[in-house]
Structure 1
Amino acid sequence: MASSAQAQYSGDSWASAKSKGSGTISMAYVETPGFVYKENGKLTGICVDIMNDFVEYVNKSKGVNLSAKFVGDGSSFRGMYNNVKGSNGGVFGLGNVTITEARKSEIKFSPAFITNFAILITPPSVPTLKNMSNISNTFAGLTAYTAKGTLNERRLLDLKSNYYPAMKVSYVSSSPETLEKILVDKKSFSYLDLAFYLDAVQKGKPVKRHPVGDQASEQFGFIMPLNSDWQPVMEEFFAANGGYTNSVEYKKILSKHLGNTGVKLLQSVK
């Protein structure tokens, strides 16, 4: 594995792109269903489409000939995050990155582009959880799987401290691995981000959602290194023409990559 020193990325600063009338930005990413994924060998998804719109906005409204390139291999959230954090200039991180106060001391964020929805899932054979306070009985003997350092880990640890002190927690390396554990271990449960849950349902994988456990709290944003001067330009893009997330283009992007079920779930939290 490359050290973070080797894996740092670089892109043109906004000041440089503006003065030259052209520039290139680098887009690091973590592959996430719906958000950044490969279709016919090409990267697409909500994040990719929004960034394409951002590049187009800069070209049209600023008269700057901006182009974008992908960097990294998309395999690791932590790798992508740390590499963006240690990079310079016009570098952006794409994926399911939650905006938190703690992270704001390490990286810069764009405005939120979506509210995440965390879904409590189990194998289908587990009885439906009717009330969170009953979880220690309904989920008795089940193991919670999660990836360290994620908000879904925090959600599960909150359940443990509030309702289920005897809960067993087992660690895996990623969200896809969490899902794999649920599929093979009949006595398991976890939180999955909306995109991963929808992808599993779409592929006919045997998972059961427990709606009482749904949580819609955090928002996702694009990330930039602390030394980036692109944040104001992103803020302007998101605010233009009545707000990007109110636009028809944005709503089409959501439908295209999350489907009607996903869009309805997202609308239910507003």
Structure 2
Amino acid sequence: MKRILNLREIGLLVVLLVLSSAVQAQYKGDTFKQVKASGAGTISLAYVETPGFVYKDQSGHLTGICIDIMKDFVDYVNKTKGVNLTAKYVGDGASFSGMFDKVKASSGGVFGLGNITITDARKKVLKYSPPFITNNAILITQPNVPTLTNLSNISTTFAGLTAYTAKGTLNEKRLLTIKQQYFSAMKIAYVSSSLEAEEKVLQDPKSFSYLDLAFYLDAVAHRKPLKRHPVGDKSSEQFGFIMPMNSDWQPLMEEFFSANGGYTNSVSYKKILTKHLGDTGVKLLEAVQ
């Protein structure tokens, strides 16, 4: 005969399920203190797939600006600290918010990679590396939409168009600012990622969005029918790697970025940019700095 659980037992079961879910939503990696003490260890790299920054090559292996920079970081730690540090990738890379929230809830040597803008608000819940690139956000539509000549005219030029964006991103903030200042009737539809926002614009002739530079360059390279509206370009934010608040890796990241005249001034870094953005992408990046 089956016994019926009482309310107290049901409550305890719910608590255990919630705690189990929270544990599963976290990643773990060795602290630098542990690596230094044992001479070896592993860090976990969570990521959101982003053209140019974190993507899969033809063989299905992860590559990109973020991947190559982290390889240089691991090499630097091994050479300068005399340890054997390795890295493993965690998560599926499908969602910016999923990656961001899990890194925030994690502990130890966990890093978040992708198009992650450095903001004061995020610094209250996460640690950042020094910036490794300045982003340029591109305002895009399908080609048949008239060219926007002034942001103040967007309510007429883009009348009837829906804006697509991922919640919690700087691109969402840009669109909300435009809505408040120039386009109170703007409709905003939310998607899970920048890639999905791009796909929505490709599918919907009455739509627009902001794309980070790498997404735009990828679209141009693949001859996707998208139109850039230069008057809407924004280049104010910088990207960095994120770490949980309890991480002790931040000083190592700062040391790595400042060593030997600065990592972003190095030949290795410049080769990485050219490899993943191409000459055209690097020139556009330099033009908006």
Question: The TM-score by the shorter chain falls in which range?
Answer: over 0.9
1: CA distance, partners of 2:269 / 2:218: 20
Q: What does residue range 66-145 of structure 1 map to in structure 2 within 5 Å?
A: 66-145=85-164
2: CA distance, partners of 1:157 / 1:86: 28
Q: Which runs of 5+ in 1 are unaligned?
A: none
For the pair 1:10 / 2:23, whether they are aligned, the reply is no
Report the secondary structure of 1:3's partner residue.
Answer: helix
Q: Which runs of 5+ in 2 are unaligned?
A: 1-19
Superposition deviation, residue 58 in structure 1 = 0.5
Q: Does the 8 Å CA contact 1:18/1:64 hold for their aligned counterparts?
A: yes
Q: Does the 8 Å CA contact 1:4/1:82 hold for their aligned counterparts?
A: no
2: CA distance, partners of 1:85 / 1:168: 31
For the pair 1:33 / 2:55, whether they are aligned, the reply is no
1: CA distance, partners of 2:117 / 2:242: 10
Q: Does the 8 Å CA contact 1:13/1:89 hold for their aligned counterparts?
A: yes
Superposition deviation, residue 61 in structure 1 = 1.2
Residue 204 of structure 1 is aligned with which of 212, 219, 223?
A: 223
Normalising to structure 1: TM-score of the pair?
A: 0.97
Q: CA RMSD in A?
A: 1.2
Task: Letter of the 2:27 partner, please give it.
Answer: Y
Superposition deviation, residue 227 in structure 1 = 0.5
Superposition deviation, residue 202 in structure 1 = 1.0
* Aligned counterpart, 1:215: 234
Q: What does residue range 47-62 of structure 1 map to in structure 2 within 5 Å?
A: 47-62=66-81
For 1:138-181, what per-residue CA distance to the aligned partner results, in whole angstroms no more than 9, with x for missing partners? Answer: 11221111111111111011111111112222222221111111
For the pair 1:262 / 2:281, whether they are aligned, the reply is yes
For the pair 1:247 / 2:281, whether they are aligned, the reply is no
Superposition deviation, residue 182 in structure 1 = 0.9
Task: Letter of the 2:216 partner, please give it.
Answer: Y
2: CA distance, partners of 1:240 / 1:71: 28
1: CA distance, partners of 2:84 / 2:165: 43
2: CA distance, partners of 1:86 / 1:79: 11
Runs (4+) off by over 4 Å: none
For 1:31-62, what per-residue CA distance to the aligned partner results, in whole angstroms no more than 9, with x for missing partners? Answer: 11111111111110000000000000001111
* Aligned counterpart, 1:230: 249
Residue 185 of structure 1 is aligned with which of 201, 204, 227?
A: 204
How many pairs align?
A: 269
Q: Does the 8 Å CA contact 1:4/1:83 hold for their aligned counterparts?
A: no
* Aligned counterpart, 2:8: none
> Which one has the largest radius of gyration?
2
Task: Letter of the 1:69 partner, please give it.
Answer: K
1: CA distance, partners of 2:233 / 2:28: 38
Task: Letter of the 1:26 partner, please give it.
Answer: S
Q: Does the 8 Å CA contact 2:96/2:192 hold for their aligned counterparts?
A: no
Identity of aligned residues (%): 73
2: CA distance, partners of 1:170 / 1:45: 29
Superposition deviation, residue 3 in structure 1 = 3.4
